[in-house]
Amino acid sequence: MRRIKSSIDTQSPAFLAHELCNRRRVAEFRKLQQKARSDRPERDVNRLREQNKLLVRERIDLLLDPGTPFLELSSLAANMAYGGKVPSGGVVSGIGMVCGREVLIMASDSSIKGGAWYPLTVKKMVRTLDIAMENHLPVVHLVDAAGAFLPLQSGLFPDRHMAGRMFRNQCVLSAMGIPQVALVLGHSTAGGAYIPTLSDFSVMVRRTGGVFLGGPPLVRAATGQEVTADELGGADVHTTVSGTADYAVDSEQEGLALVREIVGTFPKPTKADVERRKPEAPYYDPQEIYGILPDDIKKQFDMKEVIARIVDGSRFHEFKPGYGPTLVCGFAFLYGWKIGIIGNNGVLFSESARKSTQFMQLCNRDRIPIIFLQNITGFMVGKEYEHGGITKDGAKMLMVQANLDVPKLTIMTNGSFGAGNYAMCGRAYDARFLFSWPNARISVMGMEQAIQTLTQIRLRTLERQGKALSETDRESIRDEMAQDYLEKSSAYYSTSELWDDGIIDPADTRRVLGISLSAALNREFSQTPDGILRI
């Protein structure tokens, strides 16, 4: 493969201006992430210390193999919900190494409302277990949760992908032969009691751990029986009387060491058979992405310059370089694994869609995972393009992309609008992992068009009601619409609602993709028997 020849002047005024803007964006992201991870009321931290409990990330640090990375998922979940009082959605999840095995960790954060589950907490937990199933990852549950946050119970209990889905996913994981181990560090009450009981191995910490369908207050209210939490469902009860748990330990540290020992007995998976060679660092510095990425979402940039700072040796074999140039397709290697890349260099035309359809079929036949780099305004519209079959060609692209069996990974690098989001493997199309850069924006159409449309609808409604509007009133309405649209199309709103698996630093994209791809290759995938159509 040829090395991409970069045309970027790293000393140009435009590059330096973009670099400054994007470093500020990343600094703001890091500040918000650090706040979500670390800022807790002193009284809540003191309460945990008095119970001899560790904070959630201290637990994870003791669980992981020393010096190995931890890819945290959705670190800013719920950052724009619940008044900002449920950082990270109240649960920490991510991929890490335990005794040399890749595992998915899901850990309650009991410094937030005692680990209570909010609707977005449950959404994050369901997504975490979906990732385990999709990528055949063993799961470590660190359980310390007060159960459902009752004032919002209707938003987390009854529907298909709410709390019951977690336990359903655990049952499916078991049937798939994917091991799970739970460490009960606090109370696991009501539905939450099923997390350790549906795991293959269950460890409980004496005096602080408890598993019961109804805690002491509920037992008292329902039966009049007075019983302590330890008598009702403590570690010794469940390991010597009921058999509900398997091991009892005297401290969290002992429990985490035992979990590591148990994970060490799990069989190591055989990675899917994907072409591999010796890894090679990019020729160009990934930090240069800051100067490539523009300071305005309406400005275009060359996706090949981004690719050059992600892939091994900055080497890339471009497929059909002279056809459908607004979509870049080609082959590269990432940490030694062969990958296909599909990246936007403008609006999608029929030629672009046809090229990607053929390319995806090649990747699926030849067992090559695909990375989608999104910066898309959508498909081209207009009479000429409709007559040329743009909708038909877009449908072909969607059909093939939706039915790929190889792993798909998606990065939202900038804009993601309309049907372009779907074609480029947006959230609805089952990317194994999907991450956003801090500057990313996602919505049904571009901001200017959307604001103009929404403002006109609002103005016509008010005029039909007989209200006279001054130019100041009109500007005020437009500003109100713009502010709302900007907020709800931002990466921070998207990640708050768990429309992605987290915001990442653009310069970390290579590392994030490497961990994600390694995890995705734990699951074998089939080889399509179909031939390749030149569409």
The Cα–Cα gap between 394 and 360 comes to 13
Confidence at residue 527, expressed as pLDDT on a 0 to 100 scale: 63
242-257 confidence digits (pLDDT tens): 999 999 999 999 999 9
Question: Measuring CA to CA, which residue among 17, 5, 7, 6 is closest to residue 291?
Answer: 17
The model's pTM is 0.94
Confidence at residue 460, expressed as pLDDT on a 0 to 100 scale: 83
126-144 confidence digits (pLDDT tens): 999 999 999 999 999 999 9
pLDDT at 392 over 80: yes
Grade residue 191 by pLDDT with cuts at 50, 70 and 90.
Answer: confident
How many CA atoms are closer than 13 Å to the CA of 142, on its beta-carbon side?
34
Q: Please identify which residue in the block is written with the tokens 């269950």.
A: 202
Task: Tell me which DSSP letter residue 146 carries.
Answer: -
Grade residue 385 by pLDDT with cuts at 50, 70 and 90.
Answer: very high
Which helix H or strand E contains 413, and what residues bound it?
Answer: strand 408-417
pLDDT at 468 over 80: no
pLDDT at 483 over 90: no
Which residues share a beta bridge with 199?
A: none
Higher pLDDT, 449 or 142: 142
pLDDT at 295 over 90: yes
Q: Is 436 helix (H, G, I), strand (E, B) or coil?
A: strand
pLDDT at 529 over 60: no
Are 436 and 397 within 8 A, CB to CB? no
The 3-class secondary structure across 212-252, one letter per residue, is ECCCHHHHHHHHCCCCCHHHHHCHHHHHHCCCCCCEEECCH
67-106 confidence digits (pLDDT tens): 999 999 999 999 999 999 999 999 999 999 999 999 999 9
Percent of the chain with pLDDT over 90: 83
Confidence at residue 530, expressed as pLDDT on a 0 to 100 scale: 67
pLDDT at 471 over 90: no
Higher pLDDT, 216 or 349: 349
Confidence at residue 461, expressed as pLDDT on a 0 to 100 scale: 84
- CA 173, 171, 104, 404 torsion-angle sign: positive
Higher pLDDT, 32 or 464: 32
Q: What is the arithmetic mean of pLDDT over 8-31?
A: 98
Grade residue 528 by pLDDT with cuts at 50, 70 and 90.
Answer: low
pLDDT at 486 over 90: no
Characterise 115 by phi-psi region: left (phi > 0), alpha (psi -120 to 50), beta (else): left
H helices of 424-490, in order, are 447-464, 471-488
pLDDT at 395 over 80: yes
Q: Please identify which residue in the block is written with the tokens 């990747």.
A: 363
pLDDT at 427 over 60: yes
Higher pLDDT, 355 or 461: 355
Percent of the chain with pLDDT over 70: 98
Helices 471-488 and 447-464: angle between axes, nearest 10 degrees: 130
The Cα–Cα gap between 518 and 433 comes to 12
- CA 148, 429, 527, 94 torsion-angle sign: negative
Higher pLDDT, 444 or 329: 329
Grade residue 31 by pLDDT with cuts at 50, 70 and 90.
Answer: very high
Confidence at residue 463, expressed as pLDDT on a 0 to 100 scale: 78
The Cα–Cα gap between 61 and 70 comes to 9
Grade residue 447 by pLDDT with cuts at 50, 70 and 90.
Answer: low
How many CA atoms are closer than 13 Å to the CA of 216, on its beta-carbon side?
11
Confidence at residue 459, expressed as pLDDT on a 0 to 100 scale: 80
pLDDT at 125 over 80: yes
